[in-house]
Amino acid sequence: MHSSRNAINVLVVDEMYDPLIDNSPPSHLTKPDSFWANDYDPFIYPTLERTVNTDIAIIGAGYTGLSAAMHLRREYGVDCTVIEACQPGVGSSGRNGGFVLPGTGRLSNEQCVERFGEKTTAEMYQEYQRSVDFVDALIDQLALQKSQQTSIVDCARTRGGYLKLAHHQQHTQQLHQQVKYMQKNHGENAQPLTQKDIESNYLSGVQQFGGVYYPNAFSVNPWLLVQGIAKLTQNAGVQIFGNSPVIDIKTKDSTHEIITRYGKVKAKTLLLASNAYTPNHQFSILQNRIFPVISSIIVTKPLSTSQLSLLNMKPGLMVMDTRPLKYYYRLLPDNRLLFGGRGAVTGKKAYLPRYQSALVQGLLQTLPGLKNIEIDQFWSGWVAISFDDYPRLYFDKAKQCLYSAGYCGAGLAFSLYAGKRLAQLYAEPEAMPDLPFWQTPLKKFPLAMLRRPALNALYFKEHCKQWLQRHFS
Ligand SMILES: Cc1cc2nc3c(=O)[nH]c(=O)nc-3n(C[C@H](O)[C@H](O)[C@H](O)COP(=O)(O)OP(=O)(O)OC[C@H]3O[C@@H](n4cnc5c(N)ncnc54)[C@H](O)[C@@H]3O)c2cc1C
């Protein structure tokens, strides 16, 4: 990744690390180029410059790796060491939209029932709800850490609920049927809404045909959250090394040797928490089992009073629509609008101005009443798509290697809870609930080299479809 700083001290990035092309993430970054990191400088963890012996070596200091390390240490007394290419949270964990939602993957309720049956689907939903409650409780723990800087204490937690909008008439009925099923079978307290309900009570001037409101979801500043969890993990007794990309792994006599530029870690067990940032050729156990796809975000300058009254957005509300290539948005505590959606296909192109313009256009089409918006920041990050649309936590006992990956862009709450589950999978697997997430490894993408051409074709098809809808419907 090449970067520089401009006059307003925002990190300007020309190119982004690309997991399908580069050998490892760059070692020089100490924070992401996201809006979140502008005002909070991270604690810098030392570079690995010696040989460390440990029980479990964890590669990646995002939510997954840090949470796994913290739980292994705290709950099972396992000695573990985290090795991070950059610094904690420089991957997706410090650049996401901050939506803490119950769910992961890309399967609808209907698809889950078809694949796993009603009982398992209901248990999966309980797991999702547990993950949201878990993040809530983690933030409460941060508040108890006296040494923590005050801005981290509540991670800007905002309880405004989540609104899923039907972007087309035919999706309204689907959404409403789904929510009725979930109310009956999963005790879900979501509320089906008409177009009018939304216009009067949630959000005005948006193109929509009804939707569903989930009151239990909340939003956070994801960078503060990952900083806080890194500190909790270190305080639990875990060694964290930063700016130390893993460049090779050798396994001999049941010991993994994890080699970085200036040091190495020797461990009986390896835990891969590199997720979407995993260099495709580095770890054979994950090779071609993740498709890294770019998600991008723009943040506007604070909206004016007239823009705010035009939107009339319920405080703290998070919104997403039902498009195959979704847009997601929310108002930040200082009245800026955060708006995210698809980005480029390769890391090399991630920061081309046309991808920022495409998001601005998406924003103006989604919220047509908003005029004269000014963009303060644009950034991108990788999300990990799995072949069959749901993540896996997997322990290959013969290879003594665990991983958790493939959240398909919905991993804030799930990845943190996955860390707890990974610790359990290692130390007391018999206590794990019987769910599909940890029964099989991630599936390999067949014809993996065609992933990017196929994604380009999908983007082109959706672009044409939207153009036709705009001009002829
Ligand atoms: C733009 C964007 C918006 C998103 N919005 C949301 C949202 O609002 N809500 C939601 O639920 N999810 C969202 N997500 C997804 C969510 O951020 C991720 O699912 C979650 O952060 C995954 O955490 P992780 O720890 O598994 O991975 P990461 O945070 O990506 O951590 C992986 C780490 O591994 C390190 N690494 C990789 N290779 C090596 C190596 N060779 N050596 C050493 N270290 C290595 C990387 O540097 C990285 O820090 C979004 C993602 C993006 C990109």
The amino acid occupying position 178 is: Q
CA–centroid distance, 12 to ligand 1, in Å, is: 20
CA–centroid distance, 60 to ligand 1, in Å, is: 9
List 259's β-bridge partners, or say none: 248, 264
458 or 58, greater pLDDT? 58
Reply yes or no on whether the pLDDT at 9 is more than 50.
no
Q: Which residues line ligand 1 (CB under 6 A)?
A: 24-25, 59-65, 83-86, 90-93, 95-99, 101, 245-246, 273-279, 282, 295, 297, 340, 381-383, 407, 409-413, 415
Query: Contact, 343 vs 358, CB < 8 A?
Result: no
Query: Contact, 95 vs 32, CB < 8 A?
Result: yes
Determine the residue of 101, 275, 339 to mutate for testing ligand 1's pocket, defined as the one with the most ligand atoms within 8 A of the Cβ atom. 275
pLDDT of the residue at 144: 79
pLDDT of the residue at 5: 43
What's 6's DSSP letter?
A: -
The dihedral formed by the CA atoms of 406, 460, 375 and 309, expressed in degrees to the nearest 10: -90
Give the three-class secondary structure for 402.
strand
Q: What domains lie within the chain, and their CATH numbers?
A: 3-97+223-290+387-450 (3.50.50.60), 158-218+293-385 (3.30.9.10)
Residue 8's pLDDT band, with cuts at 50, 70 and 90, is: very low
**Percentage of the chain modeled with pLDDT above 70:** 96
The number of the ligand 1 atom at minimal distance from the alpha carbon of 97 is 8
What's 449's DSSP letter?
A: G
pLDDT tens-place string over residues 237-246: 999 999 999 9
> Which residue owns the Cα nearest ligand 1 atom 3?
96
Average pLDDT score over residue span 41-61: 97
The number of the ligand 1 atom at minimal distance from the alpha carbon of 405 is 26
82 or 168, greater pLDDT? 82
CA–centroid distance, 63 to ligand 1, in Å, is: 7
Residue 146's pLDDT band, with cuts at 50, 70 and 90, is: low
Nearest to 421 by CA among 137, 107, 63, 157: 63
- CA 414, CA 408: separation in Å to the nearest integer? 11
> Which residue owns the Cα nearest ligand 1 atom 41?
246
CA–centroid distance, 162 to ligand 1, in Å, is: 22
pLDDT of the residue at 12: 54
Average pLDDT score over residue span 37-56: 95
- CA 400, CA 268: separation in Å to the nearest integer? 7
Average pLDDT score over residue span 358-379: 93
| Rg for the chain, CA atoms, rounded | 22
Question: How, if at all, do strands 80-83 and 239-241 pair?
Answer: parallel
Longest dimension (CA), the chain: 68
CA–centroid distance, 446 to ligand 1, in Å, is: 24
CA–centroid distance, 291 to ligand 1, in Å, is: 13
Reply yes or no on whether the pLDDT at 89 is more than 80.
yes
pTM: 0.95
First to last CA, the chain: 42
403: enclosing H helix or E strand: strand 401-405
- CA 331, CA 317: separation in Å to the nearest integer? 7
Record the tokens describing residue 94, joined without a space. 């410090």
Question: φ and ψ at 396, to 5 degrees?
Answer: -90, 100
Q: Kindly write down the DSSP assignment for every residue of 351-378, as one continuous string.
A: T-HHHHHHHHHHHHHHSTT--S--EEEE
Distances (CA, A) of 157 to 1, 204, 282, 312, 439: 31, 24, 37, 21, 34
> Which residue owns the Cα nearest ligand 1 atom 49?
91
Reply yes or no on whether the pLDDT at 449 is more than 80.
yes
Query: Contact, 198 vs 163, CB < 8 A?
Result: yes
pLDDT of the residue at 6: 40
Q: Could you identify the residue written with the tokens 């409650």?
A: 133
Helices and strands, number each (H, E), in the chain: 11, 20
The number of the ligand 1 atom at minimal distance from the alpha carbon of 418 is 26
Average pLDDT score over residue span 313-325: 92
Question: Across the chain, what does the average pLDDT equal?
Answer: 92
CA–centroid distance, 277 to ligand 1, in Å, is: 7
CA–centroid distance, 318 to ligand 1, in Å, is: 20
